[in-house]
Structure 1
Amino acid sequence: MIPSVISAHRRLVGLSLTTLGMAVSVGSALGFEHIGGYIPCHLCLLERNPYYIGIPIGIIGLLAYRFGWDLLARLCLLVIAALMIWGMGMGIYHSGVEWHFWAGPTDCSGSTAGVTRNAANLLGDLNSITGPKCDEAALRVLGLSFAGWNVVVSIIIAAIAFWGMLGGKKAA
């Protein structure tokens, strides 16, 4: 009984899990930043873009499912899968930079200058400040950095999106 219910509502399950997964993932990153004090580097910030784009698309897909627009719901799942593959690629690139397999972008140098106490120099100093280095992992859990975990999460969400997209039609 349960497999047939899931099969009948596979699109809904896929859209719900992917949208929730993206929200939890980017919410966790924001939590590590604002609560945990882990300042993201330039690449970390770029890796969040697929999530920021994907969450509204997931909501649109859920609304499309609700109103019976199956083609739009499937298209939203396809776009989510593509975004997560993009995110996976960015995570692989960033992980490679952290493991020194290849060089990172030049704007990820990590050179930080202190902000002056002279108000006349404040704007100039703010322009010279950059975030942490992209080639240094701020934290590793089970051997993976934030970028590495982004790869894992992106693969899982992309797989769920493909699963939901290729599933049966909405039950009447």
Structure 2
Amino acid sequence: MIEGLREAGVRGWSLLGLGGCVLMMAVALGLEHLGGLEPCPLCIFQRVAVMAAGVVFAVAALHDPKGRLGGAVYALLSLLAVAAGIGLAWRHLWLQSLPADQVPSCGPGLDYMLEVLPLQQVLSMVLNASGECAEISARFLGLSLPGWTLIGFVVLALVPLGLLWRSLRRRNGYRWPGVTPQD
């Protein structure tokens, strides 16, 4: 498997990332529709980050640029989406770690806010906290769902980092030891 990653092109790395995004969304939707867990506003924004990364990975896989610059651009775009997801999951965990007396009160639902408020104000309200985001609705192996989502985003970040490293090593002429250049 390591040898395959060493020689994988943009399409291979992108399909790996897309697979990770599909897995993360499948778990989220399964927990919602099969497990009965309703997503809070931060959970929904984390899903948007997963979907944004997935779209970048899908476009990169379809395009499959052969040049160094194309791979680096797709790597940076997908890394940006994944980094946003990491930040959102981190914020979610922070809210869950607050003592009960410091948890902000629950605000209106996300659907309502999106209907009556400008997007910038909705983002500000969600990121500044909502009481429902501080509730821990489920744990698995001692971690809450945002903890697992953070782990998923960190693992997913390895894909654009690997793609970026691949683009940079090609640019600087570096090759893996024992691997003959083929591109």
Instruction: Name 2:72's counterpart in structure 1.
Output: 74
User: How far is the alpha carbon of 1:73 from its aligned partner?
Assistant: 3.2
Instruction: Name 1:156's counterpart in structure 2.
Output: 155
Instruction: Name 2:28's counterpart in structure 1.
Output: 29
Instruction: Name 1:140's counterpart in structure 2.
Output: 139
User: How far is the alpha carbon of 1:107 from its aligned partner?
Assistant: 2.6
One-letter amino acid matched to 2:137: A
1:98 and 1:135 in contact (8 A); partners too? yes
TM-score, length-scaled by structure 1? 0.74
d(CA) in 1 for partners of 2:23 and 2:8?
22
d(CA) in 2 for partners of 1:28 and 1:145?
14
User: How far is the alpha carbon of 1:103 from its aligned partner?
Assistant: 4.3
d(CA) in 2 for partners of 1:88 and 1:50?
9
Q: Percent identity?
A: 20
2:25 and 2:50 in contact (8 A); partners too? yes
Over 6 Å off, 4+ runs: none
Instruction: Name 2:84's counterpart in structure 1.
Output: 86
d(CA) in 1 for partners of 2:82 and 2:147?
14
User: How far is the alpha carbon of 1:4 from its aligned partner?
Assistant: 5.2
Query: Which fold has the larger relative contact order, with Cα–Cα distance below 8 Å and residues 6 or more apart in sequence?
Result: 1
TM-score, length-scaled by structure 2? 0.70
One-letter amino acid matched to 1:107: G
User: How far is the alpha carbon of 1:72 from its aligned partner?
Assistant: 2.4
One-letter amino acid matched to 1:93: R
Change (3 A) 1:5 1:45: closer
1:104-142 deviation line (CA, Å, top 9, x unaligned):
585378xxxxxxxxxxxxxxxxxxxxx981111110112
d(CA) in 1 for partners of 2:68 and 2:58?
14
One-letter amino acid matched to 2:18: T
User: How far is the alpha carbon of 1:13 from its aligned partner?
Assistant: 3.2
d(CA) in 2 for partners of 1:31 and 1:107?
26
Name the one with the larger helix percent: 2
Structure 1, unmatched stretches of 5+, are 110-130
Matches within 5 A, 1:11-22: 11-22=10-21
One-letter amino acid matched to 2:107: D
Let me know the Cα RMSD of the aligned residues: 2.7
Instruction: Name 2:56's counterpart in structure 1.
Output: 57
Bigger CA drift: 99-108 or 79-88?
99-108
Instruction: Name 1:107's counterpart in structure 2.
Output: 107
One-letter amino acid matched to 1:134: C
